[in-house]
Amino acid sequence: MLPQAVLAQPFHLPRGGVVKNRVCKSAMSEALGTRQGRATPELARLYGAWADGGVGLCITGNVMIDRRALGEPGNVVIEDDSQMAELQAWAQAATRNGTHCWVQLNHPGKQAPKGLNKENVAPSAVPFRKDMQAFFPTPRGLTDAEVRELIARYGRAAGIVKRAGFTGVQIHGAHGYLVSQFLSPHHNQRSDEWGGSAEKRRRFVLAVLAAMRAEVGADFPIGIKLNSADFQRGGFTEDESLDTIRALAEAGIDLIEISGGTYEAPAMTGVKTQAAPAKDSTRQREAYFLAFAEKARQAVSVPLVVTGGFRSLEGMATALTSGAVDLVGLARAVAIEPDVVNRLLAGQAPREQVRPIKTGIPPIDRMGLMEVSWYTGQLKRIGRGEAPRPNESALWVFLKTVFKQMGLGRKKRPTRLRATS
Model pLDDT for residues 18-27, shown as the tens digit of each residue: 999 999 999 9
Q: What is the pLDDT of residue 112?
A: 93
Bigger pLDDT: 270 vs 167 = 167
More confident residue, 271 or 258: 258
- 282: part of which helix (H) or strand (E)? helix 280-285
pLDDT at res. 274: 44
Assess whether pLDDT exceeds 70 at residue 83. yes
Instruction: Name the maximum alpha-carbon separation found in the chain.
Output: 56
Cα angle value 182/183/187 (rounded, 5°): 60
Cβ(421)–Cβ(61) under 8 Å? yes
Q: Is the pLDDT of residue 214 over 90?
A: yes
Cα angle for residues 255, 244, 211 (degrees, 5° grid):
65
The whole-number pLDDT of residue 227 equals: 87
Q: What is the C-alpha separation between 190 and 208, in angstroms, rounded?
A: 18
DSSP string of 116-170? TSS--EESS-PPPPGGGTTTSPPPEEPPHHHHHHHHHHHHHHHHHHHHHT-SEEE
Domains of the chain (ranges, CATH numbers): 3-354 (3.20.20.70)
- In the prediction, which pLDDT does 248 show? 98
Q: Are 150 and 107 in contact (CB under 8 A)?
A: yes
Strand 140-141 relative to strand 121-122, pairing: parallel
- Look at residue 338 in the predicted model and tell me its pLDDT: 98
Quick one: pLDDT at residue 261? 52
Measured between alpha carbons, how far is 71 from 380 in angstroms, rounded to an integer? Answer: 18
Q: Which long-range contacts (CB under 8 A, 24 or more apart) does 394-398 make?
A: 394/357, 394/358, 394/359, 394/370, 395/359, 395/360, 395/361, 397/370, 397/373, 398/359, 398/361, 398/364, 398/370, 398/373
pLDDT classification of 272: cutoffs 50, 70, 90: very low
404 or 8, higher pLDDT: 8
* pLDDT value at residue 280: 56
Instruction: Check whether 221 has a pLDDT greater than 70.
Output: yes
Instruction: Decide: helix, strand or coil at residue 408.
Output: coil
- pLDDT for the residue 273: 43
Q: Which of 125, 68, 83, 76 is nearest to 104 (CA)?
A: 76
What integer pLDDT is reported at residue 271 of this predicted model? Answer: 45
Which residues have CB under 8 Å from 41's CB, separation 6+? 89
Q: In the predicted model, what is the mean pLDDT of residues 222-233?
A: 80
- pLDDT surpassing 80 at residue 415: no
pLDDT at 232: 53
Strands 63-64, 18-19: pairing is unpaired
- Give the mean model confidence (pLDDT) for residues 177-205: 96
For residue range 234-263, what is the model confidence (pLDDT) as tens digits? 667 889 999 999 999 999 999 999 986 554
31-45, 297-311, 366-380: segment of lowest average pLDDT? 366-380
* pTM, to two decimals: 0.90
**What percent of the chain stands above pLDDT 70?**
87
Decide: 338 and 23 in contact? Cβ < 8 Å: no
For the ranges 113-127, 279-293, 357-371, the maximum mean pLDDT occurs at 113-127
267: pLDDT strictly greater than 70: no
Confidence tier at 129 by pLDDT (50, 70, 90): confident
Q: Give the residue-averaged pLDDT of 125-131.
A: 90
Q: What is the mean pLDDT of the chain?
A: 89
pLDDT for the residue 90: 98
Q: Do the bridges between strand 140-141 and strand 168-173 make them parallel or antiparallel, or are there none, so unpaired?
A: unpaired
CB distance 228 to 272 below 8 Å: no
Rounded-to-integer distance, Cα 103 and Cα 160, Å: 10
Could you read off the pLDDT of 369-405 as tens digits, one per residue?
Answer: 788 889 999 999 999 999 999 999 999 888 887 777 6
- Nearest-angstrom CA–CA distance, 156 and 236: 28
- pLDDT classification of 119: cutoffs 50, 70, 90: very high
- What average pLDDT does the segment 273-281 reach? 47
User: For residues 345 and 21, is the Cβ–Cβ distance under 8 A?
Assistant: yes
pLDDT reported for residue 308: 80
CA-to-CA distance for 38 and 41, rounded, in angstroms? 10
Residue 188 has pLDDT above 70, yes or no: yes
pLDDT of residue 100: 98
Count of CA atoms in the C-beta half-sphere (13 A) of 242: 13
